[in-house]
Chain A
Amino acid sequence: MISETRYPPMAIWAARDVQRHAGRSMLLFACLASLVFLIATALLFSQAMDATWARLLDQSPDLVIRRIDGGGWAPIPADNAVALAKRVPGVLDPTPRLWGVVTGPEGPVTVMASTAVVPESVLNGMKIPSAGQAVVGQGVARALPENRLNLGSRHPLTVTVIDLFPADTSLATHDLVWITPDDARHLLGLAPGQASDLAVHLFRREEEQAIQADLAAAFPWPVRITDRTASALRHRTQAVRSGGIAVVAGIPALLALLLIITGTVLDHTGQRAHWGLLKSLGWTTADIVRLQVIRAMIVGTPAVMLGLASAYAAVFYPPAAGVTAYWITGGQHLAALTLVSSGAAMIMLEIVALVGLPFLAAVCLTSVRAATDAPWTMLQADPWN
């Protein structure tokens, strides 16, 4: 019964109050929406990075084994390495890979000749390069004269670009050049039968830490083993570190701004007198606080929704997504990020916790503080005295 009679009039009056103070309401709306946008962008970007990396790494090898010597990385004897790795229990499908970093027209590029270097789903439907041909990532394809790509190393090579990796795989393929194994060996200076490293899948993925010691012991030369977790962590840290500091530094400033505006809006002298009048007409402190909370929700809910929608667009829709990636990562190219629904729900909850609850708490506390005075005292602050 109460909900039928008390809350609708209160809600309608709150909406009228928002309309009466349109300027202040708009200021609050803009401030809240900006705050939500800033926080949601950082959270969505971080969550999308996680999801995208998880999707790509899920198709990557569990472990990558590289031979090392006094000079750094050393080529690995492919057949021998496969045979040695197969002896370790739990190791599945060891695959030698051919890849390396060489000089491209606009900086270093990653050359690969083995499909095991990138997830199979990335290569599905792509043209397979033959001798003298290449498939390249979006970052390499820029400003290539007549589709000719010059790759520099001890044995330079010029190839013709026949296809591009799709933009939505650029997190993994941005600087990638896919060429034939013979071209790769020529370019990287590898002898026949040699590979860059060995990719290994495990029977039980959770053993990736435990099995590393057995694998290292199985080879007669020193090796360095990289697992999926370390790989993911390295990329995430690199991506979020630079921009994260800027975002976190901005949050206290915006929160302070929000509190100032909330205080200004609610603690206005005329407002205080208005509340004194309401109390003299039979409103209780609880009624006034309830009115302010409903009023705050009328302004705050669409502001949060707008902030979230803007953040979503800024993270997932180009060209805004490129600007956002630049802002957060400081220049790293990140395109076509993925959002998972559970992650989105978590972000909604985080936004409510980070912005909604402090805002409502500020409204409640400021209202309670101002509305508990004696009505006569409040009326004295009025414009009619």
Chain B
Amino acid sequence: MELNAGLACRRLDFRWPGKHTDEPLVLKSVEAVFSPGTVSLVSGDTGSGKSTLLHLLAGLLRPTAGEVWADGLPVSRWPSRHRDPWRQQVGIVFQHLALIPDLTVAENLLLPMIPRQIAWSRMQEEILRQLADADLSVLADAPTSTLSGGQRQRLAIARALVASPRFILADEPTAFQDDHHAAQIRAQLCRTAREGTAVVICSHDPRLRSSDEIDRRYHLASGTLTENAAKQESP
């Protein structure tokens, strides 16, 4: 297994804290490598543990056993004071989006940039660029609560991308999108990957599963992650 670049899972087990040890694991001995420059798709049924895997990769949860490595470093073992700053290398799109409704669209994009020691001018440039990519330029000053579901989702993706992280973890990023915008998001994530970012998408959206632009496909079922070689055709 290549541990020197990208994100890697080694014998990753996860069980929710407080659960009995005789209850089944949510994730069992997961082995995977998500390399820079690639787009990886993890599919699986609802409740199969896709979001949990993303949260483990993002350092929001700690594995019960096994490790998450990032660029050759065992980040899942690190104490919080080291993992917190490392998380600046991760851009995450939550399934529930987790936008702050009373802030404007531009302010939501500003949030991940504040602690990153970025100059104001560059912040503004990045925010404008992401707004344009997400078709949200005209809504920059609108409160997030006034956006449609699709617009909010594009904003959440823009927020994950705005600080140019090393790893993008997207949970159902196309769930509320029409075909046009779903294709746009797919292209956006692929473009980001080609610039050297490791992109991991968890989705059961057939439009993504059938995409040619996905480099690696995984399927998660009963806590076990398996790699699929072939793409699935869209129904």
Contacts and interface: CB of A to CB of B under 8 A. Distances in A.
In this complex, the interface size class of chain B, counting residues with CB under 8 Å from chain A, is 35 or more
A6 interface: yes
Interface stretch (B81-89, B175-183, B184-192, B204-212): B81-89
B31 interface: no
B100 A385 contact: no
* Chain A CB within 10 Å, residue with most, of B80, B84, B120, B159: B84
Nearest to A378: B60
Nearest to B84: A284
Contact of A2 (B60, B87, B117, B120): B117
In this complex, the interface size class of chain A, counting residues with CB under 8 Å from chain B, is 20 to 34
Given A279-B84, A280-B92, A284-B84, A10 B100 contact: no
B220 interface: no
A16 B110 CA distance: 12
Contact of B114 (A4, A9, A372): A9
Interface in B162-180: 163, 165
A225 to B, nearest CB: 69
Given A277-B98, A382-B98, A385-B96, A10 B58 contact: no
Contact of B61 (A8, A282, A283, A376): A376
A375 B118 CA distance: 23
Contact of A5 (B59, B112, B117): B117
B102 A372 contact: no
Given A280-B58, A280-B92, A9 B123 contact: yes
A384 B118 contact: no
Given A6-B117, A13-B110, A374-B62, A282 B96 contact: no
Contact of B87 (A8, A274, A280, A379): A280
B19 interface: no
Nearest to B123: A9
Interface string B202-222: 000000000000000000000
Contacts of B115: 6, 10, 282-284, 287
A5 B119 contact: yes
A282 B119 contact: no
Interface SS majority for chain A: helix
A68 to B, nearest CB: 76
Contact of A16 (B60, B87, B107, B112): B107
A264 to B, nearest CB: 19
B55 A376 contact: yes
A188 B92 CA distance: 94
A282 B90 contact: yes
B113 interface: yes
Nearest to B96: A384
Contact of A281 (B61, B85, B96, B112): B112
A8 B165 CA distance: 22
A1 B118 CA distance: 10
B173 to A, nearest CB: 16
Given A285-B84, A384-B96, A376 B60 contact: yes
B85 A284 contact: yes
Interface in B10-27: none
B116 to A, nearest CB: 7
A285 B92 contact: no
3 tightest A-B CB contacts, nearest first: A282-B88, A284-B84, A281-B112
Given A1-B117, A375-B87, A376-B61, 6 more contacts: A4-B119, A9-B118, A10-B115, A277-B111, A281-B92, A376-B60
Interface of A: 1-2, 4-6, 8-10, 13, 16, 20, 274, 277-285, 287, 372, 374-376, 379, 382, 384-385
